[in-house]
Structure 1
């Protein structure tokens, strides 16, 4: 009788282990990466932008292919500009080491303390987990019409 109970317990444990999927991170983790990237843009904290992206990060911006260096060069070329970004309508799917996100990005820009412009983008991004840390590896941005 004891051997039968032992075998049943082992089978239950083994079956449970076979059917369980490894836990994934919360979608908030990749949201933090995205928001951190745009906070880097807002604060011209270029180190932050590099820290939350992969080495081969690519940005598709209205038909152009950019990377962090080209975006930073553009930011440096625009003098006296302040930017603030707000996000909504997040849709996020996650696996163990990859995540996909779509969302709406609302940007407000003030140039020379006088000229204000607001732009709404429809964006999507992909993320990979590298050495236990989520990083953005791709961002696609299209101006909403």
Structure 2
């Protein structure tokens, strides 16, 4: 019984640490969403390649399109992530993750969750986003057994 419990605990620890382990390139995704939270358009642009494309809930966006929707306003955005998996092959990384944002304004809050994937390329020593795909979940639908980790700005 004790051996089974120890095995189960080791399995859970390994699974959760893998889910929370972030590759170096994930810092670029962190930077993008931190810049979005701060409405810093220049910093947003600094995280992507010249040919960046975002497939946003059925639409094709460039960085210019993304910048246009990130407008300064009275809300506060808090970001949370949960990495599903990733694979790095040389200077290219693909990553799949959950993204949750909590928007708070005047005491009211709204939670939005996306299932996302990204392709990052190492360009002149820096990881940059080449492509993202984002699917917004219906309001009120939260994925089961996902451990969201709050982004530290």
Please give the range of the TM-score, normalised by the shorter of the 2 chains.
0.7 to 0.9
Q: Aligned partners of 1:136 and 1:37: how far apart in 2?
A: 9
Residue ranges of structure 2 left out of the alignment (5+ in a row): 1-20, 139-153
Question: Cα RMSD between the aligned structures?
Answer: 1.8
Alignment match, 1:120: 113
8 Å Cα contact 1:94-1:100 kept in structure 2? yes
3-state SS of 2:25 partner: helix
Alignment of 1:51-70 (within 5 A): 51-70=46-65
Alignment match, 2:16: none
8 Å Cα contact 2:120-2:129 kept in structure 1? yes
3-state SS of 2:73 partner: coil
8 Å Cα contact 1:27-1:94 kept in structure 2? no
Q: Aligned partners of 1:99 and 1:38: how far apart in 2?
A: 18
Between Structure 1 and Structure 2, the one with more helix by share is 1
Alignment match, 2:32: 37
TM-score w.r.t. length of structure 2:
0.71
8 Å Cα contact 2:92-2:119 kept in structure 1? yes
Q: Aligned partners of 1:95 and 1:85: how far apart in 2?
A: 27
TM-score w.r.t. length of structure 1:
0.74
Q: Aligned partners of 1:129 and 1:138: how far apart in 2?
A: 13
3-state SS of 1:73 partner: helix
Shift of residue 46 of structure 1? 1.3
What's the CA shift string for 1:16-41, capped at 9, x where partnerless? xxxxxxxxxx9521111111110010
The 1:88/1:62 distance shift into structure 2, 3 A limit, reads same
Q: Aligned partners of 2:22 and 2:120: how far apart in 1?
A: 11
Shift of residue 71 of structure 1? 1.4
